[in-house]
Structure 1
Amino acid sequence: MRHLFVILAICRLASAQDVTCYRPDGISRTYNGTIVCNSVEGAVSMCCGWNDICLQNGLCKVKSEESADATYWRDMCSVSTWPEVGCLKACTRAGSIDELGNAPMTPCDGTDYFETWCCGYTTDCCGTNDAVTVPANIYTSTSTSISISTSTSASTSFTSSTSTPTSTGSDSSPIPTTERSQHASGLSSGAKAGIGVGVAAGVIAVVGFVAFFVRRQRKSKTAMASGASYSFQPVTGSESPRQPEHTHVYEKPADKEDMRYELPAEPSVGTDR
């Protein structure tokens, strides 16, 4: 039964549902492999890639596979109106976003929840009017607990109050779409193909292992059953062969009845007269 749950978990990952999110201009985008960060049903939330880390300030943290460095992205929102509670409407100018409407952002002190950020990959705006103020938590306007989905844990609860960003960011160099395509908000065709092949290979390997394990257990049980049917049972209660005891031979003494007598011989008759 344990192996069945493993197979179902892998198949569930392979069949992730499409999620529809909205750019700052209200245009909808539907992607396979996108998650809504706030897992409370019906709540307004930012969207992130399924392998991103959802931060409570509304940003998506993307860890690099090649190094320990991470990048931060302001992704799309779960509703088209982009309300202040639940959506981080920062870095929305044309020069700060890619074709999907998403924008990379960099903290001025390099930490996840610093309140001063720059649009783009540098900290050049820090200390200037182009800096963006990002609140520590965008999801609640009152003291209410919510659940934020992450790729490293099932959910994380936060309780805080909301403030709003004070700037939309300055016009900077356009964000290349090739860089944004590597971010998991919308997986590229190559990434989807790679994930599909990897998941299929994993499912086949797990199914093969389970089949081998079940067959081995079945053979073991069959062998044990056969051994129980034809096993040697020693005979109990029987006596071992005994050597004959030595006996003495006795002769019966002769009685009178047993005495043998012979008649005396008759005198021979002479022929002389």
Structure 2
Amino acid sequence: MRVPHRHAVADHLNGAKDPAGWILIGIEAADDLGIVRTGMTYDKDYGTSAGFFEKPKRLQFFEGPNEPAVADHLEMSPRYLDFQFQPLRLTFRRADGRVIHKYPDVGIEYDDHSVRFGEIKSDDAWFQADGIRRPLERIDMAMSASGMDTLLRIKGTVFRRDEVQRAHGIAMEARLTSFDPSTEGRAARATVMAAGGRARYADVVAALGGHQAHAVDKLYAMLMRRVVDFDLSSEPTADTIVTAPRPASAFALRELLARFQRQAA
């Protein structure tokens, strides 16, 4: 998708509207540490969508095609423990006195419990456009001044490639398949450990027994629940390497959001 002219030229950000002159008033998270706004309205170029995700245990709202593609990746990859779309509201006062709000697209907790917030656009051309770059640079300054890292620039086209979307689509459909952690989950990890920490996908599927298609679905469910890990940049093959991520439970993202929690009325 081409960068719209208004973002590429950004005449609307000159003078009193220049982001360099924005004064930060405050940063706010939702009272339930979830989405900070639900009444979203966007440019007519984009549609909105929503879906329930298991890691955040919340309904997530999205703009356009990039955000849901990124969300599927966050849901399925064991590298991430938790995520939240629309997690914060940053309130600024412009030089002309008008109060404006900015919303980072997503907050992410990694498997080492580090937390980053990010902005999602299609590609580098969007991030380099003045109408996008200049506000993001001001948001970076506000985040840093509040003890957080600068925003990740997440390129959605990476997750919208055909082979990635096929692999993620299959995984998302199967991710809620039931399995017994004490027997089947243990069998999957034992197979990985017996192979020196790097087992063939086909061998792990075989270790689960039963109908092969059902075993494959169980392995996708184990992927989301971080019992095993394997690459989803394309559909797995018999020789795809399966590993066993170290155990970890999410807490850091919601703990950080609680610092900025607004109080219910």
| TM-score range normalised by the length of the shorter chain | under 0.3
Q: Which has the higher contact order (CA 8 A, sep 6+)?
A: 2
Relative to its length, the structure with more helix (as a share) is: 2
Query: What's the TM-score once normalised by structure 2's chain length?
Result: 0.22
Larger radius of gyration: 1
Query: What's the TM-score once normalised by structure 1's chain length?
Result: 0.22
